[in-house]
Amino acid sequence: MKKVIIGILVVGVFSGIINNFISISSKSGSNSENTASWPVSEDEEGSSESQPQACNPPTELNCSNSDLRGANLRRMDLSRGNFEGANLTGADLSFAKLNYANFSHATLFYSSLDGIAANADFSYANLSHAKFGQGSESYSQIDLTNADFTGSDLSYAKITFCTCLKTNFSKANLFHTWIDFSNLYGAKLPELNLEETVVLSSRMPDGKDLDGYTP
């Protein structure tokens, strides 16, 4: 009788151990499954941490007289922005949209501008030693009156229908620069090699009009 009771107790203890082991294993498997397929909420999927958003300034940004030396404005939409009198020395505006932007009296010394700048205002701006219009980008109907391009790189730039009154292009690189339907009256130009620089239908610094120019 004692042997029977002891056998029952051993079987009961052994059965309990097996049940505990099965329970722990099932919980562990359940946790691993949840970890592998953790659901991501719509808020988390669209969060700024998982998907960083481009930082574009608002339309008609006002940065007049601001200190933006060395600023990284690459590929930004700065259309209609006001940068009058701003200091953008060494700033990177590569591939930026500058349509209707105001850079009058701004300092763009050693800056990079090879984006799109239709109808922008660069009058009286200091663009000396800047990279302007590289990559065959077109600058149409921009105001370059009294702008200073001394030592700047304008190679492959397309300048069309622009006002370049008294603009200083001294020592500028005009290799394969295309100037068309623009007013260059009073501008300072380096000695041009017309095999490398194309000037068509424009008013020249001495006031002479090339064929087809209409003010």
9: in domain: yes
Tell me the per-residue pLDDT of 33-82, one tens digit each, with 9 for 90 and over.
333 222 233 333 333 333 333 334 445 689 999 999 999 999 999 999 99
Q: What percent of the chain has pLDDT over 70?
A: 66
Which domain CATH number covers 109?
A: 2.160.20.80
Considering the domain architecture, whether residues 19 and 101 belong to the same structural domain is answered as: no
Residue 17 pLDDT grade (very low, low, confident, very high; cuts 50, 70, 90): very low
pTM of the model: 0.69
Burial (Cβ within 10 Å: 0-12, 13-18, ≥19) of residue 6: exposed
Considering the domain architecture, whether residues 115 and 20 belong to the same structural domain is answered as: no
Considering the domain architecture, whether residues 16 and 75 belong to the same structural domain is answered as: no
pLDDT at 203 over 70: yes
151: in domain: yes
Residue 194 pLDDT grade (very low, low, confident, very high; cuts 50, 70, 90): low
pLDDT on residue 150? 94
Considering the domain architecture, whether residues 6 and 79 belong to the same structural domain is answered as: no
46: in domain: no
pLDDT on residue 176? 85
Handedness of CA 188, 190, 194, 197 (dihedral sign): negative
Domain housing 4: 1-34
Considering the domain architecture, whether residues 83 and 178 belong to the same structural domain is answered as: yes
Considering the domain architecture, whether residues 87 and 171 belong to the same structural domain is answered as: yes
Torsion angle defined by CA atoms of residues 49, 54, 55 and 56, in that order, rounded to the nearest 10 degrees: -160
* Whole-number Å distance between alpha carbons of 211 and 204: 11
* Whole-number Å distance between alpha carbons of 194 and 175: 10
Per-chain mean pLDDT for the chain: 76
Tell me the per-residue pLDDT of 141-180, one tens digit each, with 9 for 90 and over.
999 999 999 999 988 888 889 999 999 999 998 888 889 8
Tell me the per-residue pLDDT of 77-99, one tens digit each, with 9 for 90 and over.
999 999 999 999 999 999 899 99
pLDDT on residue 27? 44
Q: What percent of the chain has pLDDT over 90?
A: 41
50: in domain: no
Residue 26 pLDDT grade (very low, low, confident, very high; cuts 50, 70, 90): very low
142: in domain: yes
Considering the domain architecture, whether residues 27 and 86 belong to the same structural domain is answered as: no
User: For residue 159, what are the CA distances in angstroms to 47, 123, 154, 182?
Assistant: 43, 15, 10, 8
Considering the domain architecture, whether residues 10 and 92 belong to the same structural domain is answered as: no
The domain total for the chain is: 2
If phi > 0 it is left, if psi is from -120 to 50 it is alpha, else beta; for residue 4 that is: alpha
Considering the domain architecture, whether residues 3 and 59 belong to the same structural domain is answered as: no
Considering the domain architecture, whether residues 30 and 126 belong to the same structural domain is answered as: no
